[in-house]
Every structure is written in C-alpha cells, then in structure tokens.
Amino acid sequence: MSIYLTRHGLREDWTNREWKKTAPRPSDAPLSADGFLVAAELGEACKNKYSDIQHIIASPMERCIQTATEIAKQLNLPIKVDYGVIEYLGHYPEEELQPLTNAELSKTYPIDMTYQPTTTSFPGAESEQDLMNRTKIAMTRLQEKFKGETFIIVTHAATLIALGRAVIDDNNYPFRSGVCSLTKFVESKLSTEDNKWTVEFTGEVSHLKNGEQFHWTFPRPKK
C-alpha cells in the first residue's frame, strides 16, 4: 500500500487577475491553459511510473477535479470527491468555498457517484490546528476505507502539507507543495499491531517540463 499526494495545476486567476470580477464562483478558480498542461504531464507520469494507483480522491474545487481528470483519463479510474481534503481558507477568509455539487461535476467529469466521503461538510474559517485536526480525521478514514490499497489525493497546498503530516504524525515535516508535484508514502509493517509510514519522496517534479512551480508553506510563527 502506498499513498500519493498532489496539488492541483496552475489556476486561472494566477494569470488572469480580472477573472474573479465576473466569476460566478470566485473561490472556485479553474485551471489555466498552463494548468491543464502540467496536469496532463502529471497524468502521463501516473500512467508511466505510478500506475499502482487504485483510487483517485479529490477536493471538490474544480481545479482539483480538472487535475484529477487528467490522472483518471490515463488510469481509467473515476474520481472520488471528498470534502475532507478541501481548500484551507485560514483564520480570516475573504470568501466562502463554493464548489459545484457532485451532480453538477458529473456532467463534465468522471465522478464516482457511489463514493461516500469522509465528511459531508466543508470548512469556513480555520486555524492551522483546525486544519490539522480535519485532515487527520480525513486521512484516518481514507486509510480505513482503502486498507491495503494505493490511492492518490488531489488537493491544495496547505491541505497537502497537513495531510502529509497526518500520515507520519509529524507536525513540522517540510513537505514540498509545488503544483502537480508528487509526494509518496510507503507502509512498512513493524508488527501485526503496528504500521509505520515513511516518506519516499516529496515534491517530486521530474515529470514536469518546467520543474517546481508555486511551492507554498505555512508562514513561520511570529516570535
């Protein structure tokens, strides 16, 4: 069993600053043209190097669904939408999360409509500790759901870092979070009672023509 984490591709509002002014859902930026290119590169890598993936779990935000679709096309798998791995807005969000419903997403993307997510709610304002708590619950439930099977989670920078720290129970591990990068965990059984997860790699971008882009991490606490 392995677990992969990745972040969505480049967002439309990173290059088109006018996009939000007329967007019906300003928090739900889709991929830009370059975002689709790096997502396609990720999909190819999953087909050629990481084809052990059996399940694709994704945040409901459209940029994550679009990125996951590039993987789904290469592996011939549906996308399991999970609110437990959605975006982190921080302490004082300027906007609300406005994802499409699964029914709306399924009109365009290969959504697994039978999948039961780890939670049916999604957050507003969160502290970093709130995020850590949320992702710990999500990761524990995903590991239970897919025990013995390999899955990839398509998520957001802060959520990726928090999910990774939940896997290895280390709240300070310096995960890399560049767009469409890959982080991999492998499980080694120490005994019949205890499993240990190790980081095989983080922020892997050898599959991306332009290398690492838009790495993000949590700001250092003020002294």
Q: Residue 105 corresponds to which tokens in the numbers above?
A: 């997403």
pLDDT above 70 (res 38): yes
d(CA 10, CA 32): 6
pLDDT above 60 (res 191): no
- Delineate the domains of the chain, giving CATH numbers in brackets: 2-204 (3.40.50.1240)
Contacts of 205 (CB under 8 A, 6+ apart): 178, 180, 181, 182, 211, 212
Position 94 scores a pLDDT of 82
In the chain, alpha helices (H): 12-15, 19-22, 33-48, 62-75, 102-105, 128-145, 157-168
Share of the chain above pLDDT 70, in %: 96
- Place 48 in a pLDDT band, splitting at 50, 70 and 90: very high
Share of the chain above pLDDT 90, in %: 87
Per-residue pLDDT tens digits for 129-188 = 999 999 999 999 999 999 999 999 999 999 999 999 999 999 999 999 999 999 999 987
Per-residue pLDDT tens digits for 1-31 = 899 999 999 999 999 989 999 999 999 999 9
Position 92 scores a pLDDT of 86
40 membership: H or E segment, kind and range: helix 33-48
Position 223 scores a pLDDT of 56
Q: Give Dmax (Cα) for the chain.
A: 56
Position 193 scores a pLDDT of 54
> 45, 71 in Cβ contact below 8 A?
no
> 221, 209 in Cβ contact below 8 A?
no
Place of tokens 């069993």: 1
d(CA 187, CA 10): 30
pLDDT above 70 (res 192): no
> 115, 80 in Cβ contact below 8 A?
yes
Give the relative orientation of helices 128-145 and 157-168 as an angle to the nearest 10 degrees.
60
pLDDT above 80 (res 221): no
Q: Residue 165 corresponds to which tokens in the numbers above?
A: 């720290």
Residue 102's CB: how many other CB atoms inside 10 A? 18
- Place 219 in a pLDDT band, splitting at 50, 70 and 90: confident
Rounded to an integer, the average pLDDT of 101-108 is 98
pLDDT above 70 (res 218): yes
